[in-house]
Amino acid sequence: MLKQAANLCRSSVYWLLILLFGLSLELIALYFQYQLGYGPCVLCVEIRAIVLAIIIIALFGIVFSSNRFMANFMNILLAATGVGFYLKSDYLLLIERNLVEGSCGFKANFPSWMPLDQWLPSVFEPWEACGYTPMLWFDITMAEGLVYCSIFVFALGAISLILNVLFGKSRREMSLFND
């Protein structure tokens, strides 16, 4: 069963599901921004950039899913991105609950070589100060939901990596042993 799970974690279907997860997070954020009128803060647009990184990792995962080394590398990147996702989301939650002093400004902290807020302001331009996030379903705030999503992303990358290292064989290795 663990070998089957390892094979699933290295399949293009696995990466396609991660891609769809990332796209759904972006679409939900844009729905809240443009349909419900909740403008993003600096941390929110930085989290959107992290979710964009997850989408890009998933695209590379789809392309390189049959290569064991690359699949493992993509899972390492996914887990590392999950850590960054958690740190930003947790900080947003701490600000929302008034557990840290201060706030974020109105200028996104993107590097000069990748000014996402200038390239695509409709998605990555902050509109509001950090502090309040809207309520989602099941009586949780968006900040809480982002923390849960970040834990999920980290766990997905870490568990998939462990399964691939311990139980996964590449399709080429499996065909060599079956011949």
The whole-number pLDDT of residue 57 equals 93
Number of domains observed in the structure of the chain: 1
The rounded distance, in Å, linking the Cα atoms of 12 and 40 is: 32
Note the pLDDT tens digit of each residue in 70-113: 888 888 999 999 999 999 888 888 887 777 776 676 777 777 78
Residues β-bridged to residue 135:
141
The rounded distance, in Å, linking the Cα atoms of 147 and 151 is: 6
The whole-number pLDDT of residue 16 equals 92
Which residue would you say has higher pLDDT here, 159 or 134? 159
| Count of residues making up the chain | 179
pLDDT band at 55 (very low <50, low <70, confident <90, very high): very high
Q: What is the pTM of this model?
A: 0.82
Q: What is the CATH number of the domain that holds 43?
A: 1.20.1550.10
The whole-number pLDDT of residue 103 equals 64
Range of the domain at 154: 2-178
CB 136 within 8 A of CB 145: yes
Which residue would you say has higher pLDDT here, 18 or 6? 18
The rounded distance, in Å, linking the Cα atoms of 76 and 81 is: 8
> Who's near 128: CB < 8 A, 6+ residues apart?
39, 40, 41
Place of tokens 């729905």: 31
Mean pLDDT along residues 5-17: 74
> What is the number of H-type helices and E-type strands within the chain?
8, 0
